[in-house]
C-alpha cells in the first residue's frame, strides 16, 4: 500500500521565485546519485564552478554553490567577511537589505544602516557620506535587485566610493544573476551571492557565491574562526578546490540541476538572456500600465515587477483566483506593501511572451470582475505593440 | 549546441553515504516545482513533518527538515540550544563527535569533551563522572551512530544520567534514523538531527531535526539571539508551523524526495526495516569475517561496517578497482584508520542480500589478487548460512 499522495500541480510560476524549471533541469535532478567524492562528481563540481564564473563575469577562484538556499549564501558571505567588532554599512531599502543587517549584527558586526525608502535606491553620495561618518567601515553590503520592492540598485559608482574608502563590497544578486547585467570583476564586487530559483530557473536549494582575491585574503587573515562551521569557506574551499578534503556531503542531485541550468544559460548566451528579460519586462510594463497598474520603483528590475494594486481591489482574492483558476502564481506585497502590491516575476524560463500574455489576460479579466476601470483588450494590444517595436532575435523566446 | 555533459554513472552506493536512491524517490525529486507558499506545498510540508515524527518515534511538535545537509542540522541543534558561556559536554569518539565539539565552541559554549578511543563508546558512568566534574552542564551531546568508526552508542542509561543532572540530551542520528532503533520520546532525547542520504535513501540536501518540549522551552527562553539567522528555529518554525511566515525559500523539490522516501519507510514499517538492516549486517559480517576482515568496533552499527584491511593490502587500489570495474562505492578509513580500514554501508535501499553478495564476491576477488589468504567461495557460503539461520519475512528484501 502506498501512503504517498505527492502530486504537485503544474503551476506557472510568475511570483518572486521560484521561477519555472525547464524539463531538462528536472531530468538532471533525477539522474543517478553519485558519491560526494566520486571522481565523476568532482568533475561535475569543477564544471559547475567554471560555468558559475562565466555567469558571474568573474575569474574569481573561490566561486561555488553553498549547500543551502539564497539566505544561506547571504549568511556565508557575511560570517566569513565579518569578525566581531568590525564595522559594516548596510543599505536597507527593503526586506533583504534588512535581513543582511540582521545577519551581520548576529555575526557580531557593528552595523550602521543607510535607510532608503522602500522602492528607492541608494546613491553613491549617500554611501560616501556614510563612509565619511564611519571611517572604520570594513564592509559595505547592498542588494542589487531588491525582491521586496522590485528596485534595481546601480552599483558601478558605489563600488568606486567603497574601494576609495578601502572597504570591501558585498552584493546580493539573488534576483539578478542570469537575468540582469552583473559584472563581478569589472564592477569590483568583492563578494556576491545568489539563489538558484530565480533567473537561473533551477529549483531552490543552492546559493552560488563568488569572492574576489581581496575577500579571500580577508578570510585567510581572520584572527577568529568563522562562527559557522557549516558555512566556513576556508573549509568548504578545500573540498571544492585542491585537496578535496571531505567537509560535508554536498547536495549531489541539486548540483546536477544547477549544472544543467547553467548550461542552458550559456547556450542562450548571457547577453541574449539579459536582452530577453528586458524585452519581456517592457511588454509587461506596457500591458500593466494599460490596465492602470503603476510600478512602485522608479528604477524597476526587468526580472521582478512590483506594482500597486488599484484602490478597492481585493489583492488576496485576485491572487487566489489566479492560482486556482489559471494555475498562475504571482507574489503578494511585503512590509509596507502588504495588501497593496503585486510582484510579478519574469525570471529565467518564465521571461517569455507566453508568460506576459497569459498574466495580462488573466489580470484584465479579474480586475474587470472587481470593477476596476479596465479597457478590455488594451493590455494585450499594448504588449503586442511593445514586442513589435523590439522584435526578438531569431531563436530566442 | 548543448554544452552539457551530465551523465553520472549508475553506482552501487555501499559507502558511508549517500546510499542508493530508489527510482521512486528520484521521480519525486523531478516533479513540478511549486511555490514555497503554495497551499499544495504547505500540505506536503505538513505530511513530511508528520511522517518524520513517526520515523523519529516522537510526538514533538518541532519536527522538520533543515534546509541543508546533516552538518547543517548539527549546527542548527547546537546554535539554538547553546548560548555564549553555556557549558556543554560532548562525547568525542570519532570525526562527528569532534565536529559537534567544534561547532559548539564556535557557538560560544564552554565545551568539555569526554574522549573515547575511536571505535569504542561512552558508558553512563563516564557521563555521570563528567557531569559531576562540571555540574553547570546544560547540554550533553553525543553520536548515536559514529560514521567514522562504525560504533553504535547505547543511549538509554546515558539519557537517565543526563536528565538527573538537569541537562538536555542532543543526539546525532545521521547514520541511524530509519535503520537502527531510535526512540526519541521513550529515550527522552531532547534534540536529534539526521541526514536524508543514509538510511532514508534520499539524496543529500536536507537534515531532519526534532526538539522536545524542554528543548523548545530552552529556545524560547534564550536571552540572546541565535547566532545564525538561517538556522534560527524560532523563525523557521513560524514557516513550518502556524502562521506560515516567509523565512527562506525552502528546497521544494528536495522536500518532495524526502516525502517519498519517508512514505517508503512507513510502507515497509519501521520495525521490519530495522530488522532488515540487522539481518543483512549479520550476513555481511559472516562473509567479511570469512575473508579474514575484522570489525573495528565492539558494538558495530548494522548500517555501517568498519573493517580493518589486511596488512599489505593496498586499500586505495582495492577501492579504485571496486569503483572502476564493479561500479561499487565503499568508504575509506578516516583519521587514525586512514589507509587501514574500509567502511561498508548497508543503508536504506542498499541493505539487501543483493548488496551483500555483490560486495563480498568483489572483495574476495580483489583480496585474492593482492595475495591475501582468502579461501575462494567461503564468504558467500558464510553469508548464505547466515541468511538460512534467519530467513527474511515474506515481502522484505
Domain end marker among B267, B287, B320: B267
Q: Is residue A88 in some structural domain?
A: yes
Residues B200 and B70 in one domain: yes
Residues in Cβ contact with B123 at an 8 Å cutoff, skipping those fewer than 6 apart:
none
- Which pLDDT does position B342 carry in this prediction? 98
pLDDT digits (tens, 9 = 90+) for A276-308: 999 999 999 999 999 999 999 999 999 999 999
| pLDDT tens, chain B, 397 aa long | 455 679 999 999 999 999 999 999 999 999 999 999 999 999 999 999 999 999 999 999 999 999 999 999 999 999 999 999 999 999 999 999 999 999 999 999 999 999 999 999 999 999 999 999 999 999 999 999 999 999 999 999 999 999 999 999 999 999 999 999 999 999 999 999 999 999 999 999 999 999 999 999 999 999 999 999 999 999 999 999 878 888 999 999 999 999 999 999 999 999 999 999 999 999 999 999 999 999 999 999 999 999 999 999 999 999 999 999 999 999 999 999 999 999 999 999 999 999 999 999 999 999 999 999 999 999 999 999 999 998 876 544 4
**What stretches of B267-333 adopt beta strand conformation (E)?**
294-295, 304-308, 328-329, 331-332
Nearest CA in chain B to A79: B228
Using an 8 Å CB-CB cutoff, list chain B residues near A72.
67-68, 230, 248
Q: Is residue B208 in some structural domain?
A: yes
Q: Are A11 and A329 in contact (CB under 8 A)?
A: yes
Residues B299 and B378 in one domain: yes
Q: Is residue B285 in some structural domain?
A: yes
Nearest CA in chain A to B227: A106
Partner-chain contact A30 B29, CB within 8 Å = yes
Residues B133 and B275 in one domain: no
Residue B175, domain extent: 23-267
Task: Report the alpha-carbon distance of residue A183 to residue A189 in Å, rounded.
Answer: 8
Residues B200 and B288 in one domain: no
User: Phi, psi (5° rounding) for residue A133?
Assistant: -70, -25
- Which pLDDT does position A183 carry in this prediction? 98
Residues A154 and A274 in one domain: no
Residues in Cβ contact with A125 at an 8 Å cutoff, skipping those fewer than 6 apart:
none
Provide the 3-class DSSP secondary structure of residue B198. Answer: coil
Residues B96 and B240 in one domain: yes
Q: Is residue A3 in some structural domain?
A: no
DSSP state of A65: E
Residues A251 and A318 in one domain: no
Domain count along chain A: 2
Domain end marker among B247, B267, B287: B267
DSSP state of B11: -
- Which pLDDT does position B2 carry in this prediction? 55
ipTM: 0.96
Q: Is residue A5 in some structural domain?
A: no
Residues B96 and B214 in one domain: yes
Residues B257 and B276 in one domain: no
* B110-115 and B87-92 beta bridge pairing: parallel
Residues B111 and B45 in one domain: yes
Q: Is residue A192 in some structural domain?
A: yes
Cell of B161: 544520567
- Which pLDDT does position A397 carry in this prediction? 46
Residues in Cβ contact with A206 at an 8 Å cutoff, skipping those fewer than 6 apart:
A65, A66, A67, A68, A69, A195, A196, A251, A254, A255, A258
Using an 8 Å CB-CB cutoff, list chain A residues near B90.
none
Q: Are A124 and A158 in contact (CB under 8 A)?
A: yes
Partner-chain contact B34 A11, CB within 8 Å = yes
Given a cut of 70, is residue A324 above it in pLDDT? yes
Using an 8 Å CB-CB cutoff, list chain B residues near A6.
28, 31, 44, 256, 259-260, 263
- Which pLDDT does position A1 carry in this prediction? 47
Task: Report the alpha-carbon distance of residue A9 to residue B32 in Å, rounded.
Answer: 7
Using an 8 Å CB-CB cutoff, list chain A residues near B248.
69-72
SS (HEC) of A230-299: CCCHHHHHHHHCCCCCCCCCCCHHHHHHHHHHHHHHHHHCHHHHHHHHHHHHHHHHHHHHHCCCEECCCC
The Cα of B201 is separated from the nearest Cα of chain A by a number of Å equal to: 10
> Which pTM was predicted?
0.97
Task: Report the alpha-carbon distance of residue B388 to residue B385 in Å, rounded.
Answer: 5
In the numeric block, the cell 511566515 is attached to: B245
Q: What is the CATH number of the domain that holds A188?
A: 3.40.640.10
Given a cut of 70, is residue A396 above it in pLDDT? no
Using an 8 Å CB-CB cutoff, list chain A residues near B25.
none
Q: What is the CATH number of the domain that holds A343?
A: 3.90.1150.10
Domain end marker among A248, A267, A286: A267
Partner-chain contact B29 A31, CB within 8 Å = no
Residues B194 and B280 in one domain: no
pLDDT digits (tens, 9 = 90+) for A139-168: 999 999 999 999 999 999 999 999 999 999
Q: Are B49 and B64 in contact (CB under 8 A)?
A: yes
Q: Is residue B341 in some structural domain?
A: yes
Using an 8 Å CB-CB cutoff, list chain B residues near A39.
323
The Cα of B35 is separated from the nearest Cα of chain A by a number of Å equal to: 6
Write down how long chain B is: 397
Nearest CA in chain A to B246: A334
**Residue in B36, B253, B267 nearest the CB of A29:** B253
Residues A122 and A202 in one domain: yes
Q: Is residue B306 in some structural domain?
A: yes
Nearest C-alpha neighbor of A144 from the set A112, A106, A191? A191
Amino acid at each position: 500500500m502506498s501512503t504517498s499522495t505527492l502530486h504537485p500541480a503544474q503551476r506557472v510560476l510568475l511570483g518572486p521565485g521560484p521561477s519555472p524549471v525547464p524539463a531538462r533541469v528536472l531530468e538532471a535532478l533525477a539522474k543517478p546519485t553519485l558519491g560526494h567524492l566520486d571522481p565523476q562528481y568532482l568533475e561535475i563540481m569543477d564544471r559547475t564552478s567554471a560555468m558559475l564564473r562565466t555567469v558571474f563575469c568573474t575569474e574569481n577562484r573561490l566561486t561555488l554553490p553553498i549547500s543551502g538556499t539564497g539566505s544561506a549564501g547571504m549568511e556565508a558571505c557575511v560570517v566569513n567577511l565579518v569578525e566581531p567588532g568590525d564595522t559594516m554599512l548596510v543599505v536597507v531599502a527593503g526586506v533583504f537589505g534588512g535581513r543582511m543587517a540582521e545577519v551581520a549584527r548576529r555575526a557580531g558586526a557593528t552595523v550602521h544602516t543607510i535607510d532608503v525608502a522602500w522602492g528607492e535606491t541608494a546613491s553613491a553620495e549617500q554611501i560616501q557620506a556614510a563612509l565619511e561618518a564611519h571611517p572604520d567601515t570594513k564592509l559595505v553590503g547592498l542588494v542589487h535587485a531588491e525582491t521586496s520592492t522590485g528596485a534595481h540598485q546601480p552599483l558601478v559608482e558605489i563600488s568606486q566610493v567603497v574601494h576609495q574608502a578601502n572597504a570591501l563590497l558585498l552584493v546580493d544578486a539573488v534576483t539578478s544573476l542570469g537575468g540582469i547585467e552583473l559584472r563581478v570583476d569589472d564592477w569590483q564586487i568583492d563578494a556576491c551571492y545568489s539563489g538558484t530559483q530565480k533567473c537561473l530557473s533551477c529549483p531552490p536549494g543552492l546559493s552560488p557565491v563568488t569572492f574576489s582575491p581581496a575577500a579571500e585574503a580577508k578570510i585567510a587573515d581572520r584572527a577568529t574562526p568563522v562562527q559557522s562551521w557549516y558555512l566556513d569557506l576556508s573549509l568548504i574551499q578545500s573540498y571544492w578546490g585542491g585537496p578535496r578534503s571531505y567537509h560535508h556531503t554536498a547536495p549531489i542531485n541539486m548540483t546536477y540541476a544547477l549544472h544543467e541550468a547553467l548550461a542552458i544559460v550559456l547556450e542562450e548566451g548571457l547577453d541574449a538572456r539579459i536582452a530577453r528579460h528586458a524585452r519581456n519586462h517592457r511588454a509587461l510594463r506596457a500591458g500593466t500600465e494599460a490596465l492602470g497598474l503603476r510600478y512602485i520603483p522608479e528604477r524597476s528590475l526587468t526580472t521582478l515587477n512590483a506594482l500597486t494594486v488599484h484602490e478597492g481591489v481585493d489583492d488576496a482574492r485576485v491572487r487566489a483566483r489566479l492560482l486556482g483558476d489559471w494555475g498562475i502564481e504571482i507574489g503578494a506585497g511585503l512590509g509596507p506593501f502588504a495588501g497593496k502590491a503585486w510582484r510579478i516575476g519574469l525570471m529565467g524560463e518564465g521571461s517569455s511572451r507566453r508568460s506576459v500574455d497569459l498574466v495580462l489576460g488573466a489580470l484584465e479579466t479579474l480586475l474587470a470582475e472587481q470593477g476596476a476601470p479596465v479597457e478590455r483588450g488594451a493590455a494585450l494590444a499594448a504588449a503586442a505593440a511593445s514586442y513589435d517595436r523590439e522584435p526578438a532575435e531569431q531563436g530566442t523566446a
